[in-house]
Amino acid sequence: MIGCYVTGIMPRTKELVEATRAYERRKIDAQQLEKAFREATIKAIQAQASAELSYVTDGMLKWQDLLRPFTENLEGLKTGALARWFNNNTFYRKPIVQGEIQHKKSIATKLVYMEYLPSNIPWKVILPAPYTLTKLSENKFYKNERELMFSYAEILKAEIKGLVEKGFKYFQLSDPALVYNPLNEKISKDTLADVKEALRITIKGANAKTCLQTFFGNFSQIMPEALDFPVEDLGIDLYETSMEELKEYEFDKGIAFGLVDARSSLVEDENELVAVAKGLIQSIYLSKIFDIFICPNCDLEFLPWERAEEKIRVMSRVARRLKAELGIYE
Tens of pLDDT, residue by residue over 164-191, are: 999 999 999 999 999 999 988 889 999 9
The two most distant CA atoms of the chain are separated, in Å, by 61
CATH of the domain at 320: 3.20.20.210
Range of the domain at 243: 2-11+52-63+100-326
C-alpha 175/C-alpha 60 separation (Å) is 17
| pLDDT score recorded for residue 79 | 95
Q: How far is CA 150 from the centre of its chain?
A: 20
C-alpha 189/C-alpha 303 separation (Å) is 36
302 within some domain? yes
DSSP state of 330: -
| pLDDT score recorded for residue 11 | 97
39 within some domain? no
310 within some domain? yes
284 within some domain? yes
Question: Phi and psi for 209 in degrees, rounded to 5?
Answer: -85, 150
pTM: 0.95
| pLDDT score recorded for residue 330 | 56
Rg (alpha carbons) of the chain, rounded to whole number: 19
| pLDDT score recorded for residue 58 | 97
* Residuewise pLDDT in 10s, the chain (330 residues): 899 999 999 999 999 999 999 999 999 999 999 999 999 999 999 999 999 999 999 999 999 999 999 999 999 999 999 999 999 989 999 999 999 999 988 898 889 999 999 999 999 999 999 999 999 999 999 999 999 999 999 999 999 999 999 999 999 999 999 999 998 888 999 999 999 999 999 999 888 999 999 999 999 999 999 999 999 999 999 999 998 999 999 999 999 999 999 999 999 999 999 999 999 999 999 888 899 999 999 999 999 999 999 999 999 999 999 999 888 755
| pLDDT score recorded for residue 186 | 87
Identify the three-state secondary structure at position 3.
strand
Task: For residue range 73-124, list pLDDT tens digits in order.
Answer: 999 999 999 999 999 989 999 999 999 999 988 898 889 999 999 999 999 9
Total domains, the chain: 1
27 within some domain? no
Cβ within 8 Å of residue 101, ≥6 positions away = 74, 75, 76, 77, 148, 151, 152, 155
Characterise 294 by phi-psi region: left (phi > 0), alpha (psi -120 to 50), beta (else).
Answer: beta
